[in-house]
Chain A
């Protein structure tokens, strides 16, 4: 984990560190399950007071980015931004499925038939789908 402190930027050091850890999670430089340095290690490396690092880790724990497991260290737990993003995509898919179900009812397709169609389309390779569509 590489962090950079700009001491005279006017942005509090704790916020600089928290922002950089969050953005590294979003950018994928830090992945779920990665171990981040201990409070002591990071304090020494950055030459920043231990309490400052401790406050940052506590905040990121509370926000769900990090998880401190006593005895084993601090790890990247989840990525709230990415999680939120996935959630939005799932909602969109659900809406599309609802429209498809309505369409099936109009065409008199039974739920079983719709299931079969869904299974079939999920097992198809994307290329095959493309060929079918062109045919």
Chain B
């Protein structure tokens, strides 16, 4: 198996609305992929389908070599996910939530946990419901990365972080993508973040993948900044 994610002709309808209109995407193991797309282009639906959180209308989704809809417990243990809308147990204290999550994973890394708590100044004794949006997001990222998953999927992870926290998060993302067997997929609309940390880029447009390839290849093809390349693809300019 050399693919972390393999998606074939995936469609997803919500009633009469077609969110995904035939997505094909193959992400090799070890890649750091930025998923770029305008609001409503289908990024979150694609992520949820590929995680098995939404049932596709048609098509196939394979994750770590297994069907996304019927993942084994061992595959789930190798999977980290930070959703766009963070839902953590609001009545737990931060320390309790971390301890609780850690108890599910044999691969939990206590040193990484301590380091992130310190770097991100997470208030261990506060209840989760009292945290700010940015703090909740940091906590969600921590609980998704601390067990060192082979596949890490993040839906708009930097959206509610302040500039300093975003920078720290990007540094963490670079560090997390170091192991060769680890695959990272993150959605964003911040092209500069993507340009820094990704080596592959997938661009979504109207429920389809409009472009997928290495970041270098995209730039060579378009000879512009990533932002301009993205806008050109959005406007339907043909490349190659």
A99 to B227, CA, bound (A): 60
**B-contact bits for A45-80, CB 8 A (1 contact / 0 none):** 111111110000000000000000000000000000
Give the number of residue pairs across the A-B interface with Cβ within 8 Å: 45
A44 to chain B, nearest CB (A): 5
25 example contacts (A-B, Cβ-Cβ < 8 A) are as follows: A7-B192, A7-B193, A7-B195, A8-B192, A8-B225, A8-B227, A10-B225, A10-B228, A12-B219, A13-B195, A40-B178, A44-B171, A44-B175, A46-B196, A47-B167, A47-B173, A47-B196, A47-B197, A48-B196, A49-B174, A49-B197, A49-B198, A50-B174, A51-B199, A52-B199
A45 to B172, CA, bound (A): 10
Contact status B195-A47, CB under 8 Å: no
B143 to chain A, nearest CB (A): 22
Range of interface residues on chain A? Answer: 10 to 19
For A48, A49, A50, A52, the residue with the greatest tally of chain B CB atoms inside 10 Å of its CB is A49
Q: Does B32 contact A (CB under 8 A)?
A: yes
Q: Which secondary structure characterizes the binding site on chain B? A: helix
A110 to B191, CA, bound (A): 73
A22 to chain B, nearest CB (A): 20
Contact status A49-B171, CB under 8 Å: no
A7 to chain B, nearest CB (A): 3
Q: Does A43 contact B (CB under 8 A)?
A: yes
